[in-house]
Amino acid sequence: MSTALNYAKQYMQALAQAFPSVLRFGALYNAANNQIWRPINAKTIEIPVLSTTGRRDGSRDTIGEKRRNFSNEWEPKVLTNHRKWDTLAHPMDIDQTAMVASIQNITRVFNEEEKFPEMDRYCISKIFADWVALGNAAGTTALTVDNVLSIFDGMMEKMDDAKVPQSGRILYVRPRVNTLIKNAKDIMRTLNLKDTGTQLTREVSRIDEVSIEKIPSDIMRTAFNFTLGAVPAPGARFIDMALIHPRAVITPTSYEFAQLSPPAAMSDGKWVYYEESFEDVFILNQRAAAIDFVTSA
């Protein structure tokens, strides 16, 4: 990567980075489970799993044997995703670029173009890996305008049978699949005219009670290599559809640190920015039925 800086004489002060990314899986990173269960130490979350027996016949003539009819186990989740990033910035570089190369701009670009997309890639690939590790298998039927809704209906039917709440389910799709849904032969689309009839909206944002979130294809992969940033792992498939209820996911952070140090003798007169976090993404084993995937063949 080139270390050359764009100086003020050549470029405008404001950075014109195209199409900045946002945190696409914000609903999962803000899952309610994060407020219920927190790390009991620096790296472990214990999820309680409580179960009971069913009822049995009663008698008016005898006293039955009393016994404990519940069990309590613990589902440990160990955080392993330890990430950091740092950079130096010389005061002369900041001054000669008319503040273009300021720490504020550098970290904004880092967040929008590197950190947030990496977090999204980790989130969806880790959910997929945990789900497969529990013995689940993703559908691999090639999606078309003729079958995309029937496959979605099949995913919904499985969740209905598993008593997953309908309200709150989110369908994450690649742009290609979103186009298939918009043009599916059985879709019932409501066309809304806006701006006094000058704009026609064809967007399909919900199917049944499920909201649709369109995710860039470079994020929707089954596996990534996170040695530096996030790149697709060998053999990684595209995730065409991911139907997820946020109640099945927990995205804890046990440690966060960020600091900007001014120029000093120890830094050879440079600004130093450093950040570090200890975080992870898990599915709750007892709620794995609230997750389903369709991947490319």
Residue 200 lies in a domain: yes
> Can you tell me the mean pLDDT for 269-283?
92
Residue 116 has which token pair?
């947030």
Q: Tell which residue, 112, 75, 72, has the closest CA to residue 250.
A: 75
CA–CA separation, 6 and 99 (whole Å): 11
Residue 271 lies in a domain: yes
| Host domain of residue 242 | 26-53+64-295
Q: What is the pLDDT of residues 9-33, one digit of tens each?
A: 433 444 444 456 688 999 999 888 8
Residue 115 lies in a domain: yes
CATH code of residue 270: 3.90.1690
Q: What is the pLDDT of residues 217-260, one digit of tens each?
A: 999 999 999 999 999 999 999 999 999 999 999 999 888 888 88
The rounded mean pLDDT for the chain is 85
Output the pLDDT for position 269. 92
Burial class (CB in 10 A: 0-12, 13-18, 19+), 18: exposed
**Single pTM value for the model:** 0.85
Residue 8 lies in a domain: no
**DSSP letters spanning the chain:** -------TTTS-SS---SS----TTHHHHT-THHHH---SSSSEEEEEEEEE-------SS--PPP---EEEEEEEEE--EEEEEEEEE-HHHHHHTTTTT-HHHHHHHHIIIIIHHHHHHHHHHHHHHHHHHTT---B-PPP-TTTHHHHHHHHHHHHHHTT--STT-EEEE-HHHHHHHHT-TT-----EEETTTTEEE----EETTEEEEE--TTT-BS-EE-SSS-EEPTTPPBEEEEEE-GGGEE--EEEEEEEEE---GGGTT-EEEEEEEEE--EE-GGGGGGEEEEE--
Output the pLDDT for position 129. 98
- The total of structural domains in the chain comes to 1
| pLDDT > 70 fraction of the chain, expressed in percent and rounded | 84
Q: What is the pLDDT of residues 94-147, one digit of tens each?
A: 776 656 567 888 888 888 899 999 999 999 999 999 999 999 999 999 999 999
Residue 32 lies in a domain: yes
Q: How many residues does the chain have?
A: 297
Cα 246-218-155 angle, rounded to 5 deg = 40
Residue 3 lies in a domain: no
Q: Tell which residue, 275, 234, 281, has the closest CA to residue 255.
A: 275
Residue 236 lies in a domain: yes
> Can you tell me the mean pLDDT for 31-55?
83
More confident residue, 117 or 184: 117
CA–CA separation, 296 and 237 (whole Å): 6
Phi, psi of 123, rounded to the nearest 5 degrees: -60, -55
Residue 12 lies in a domain: no
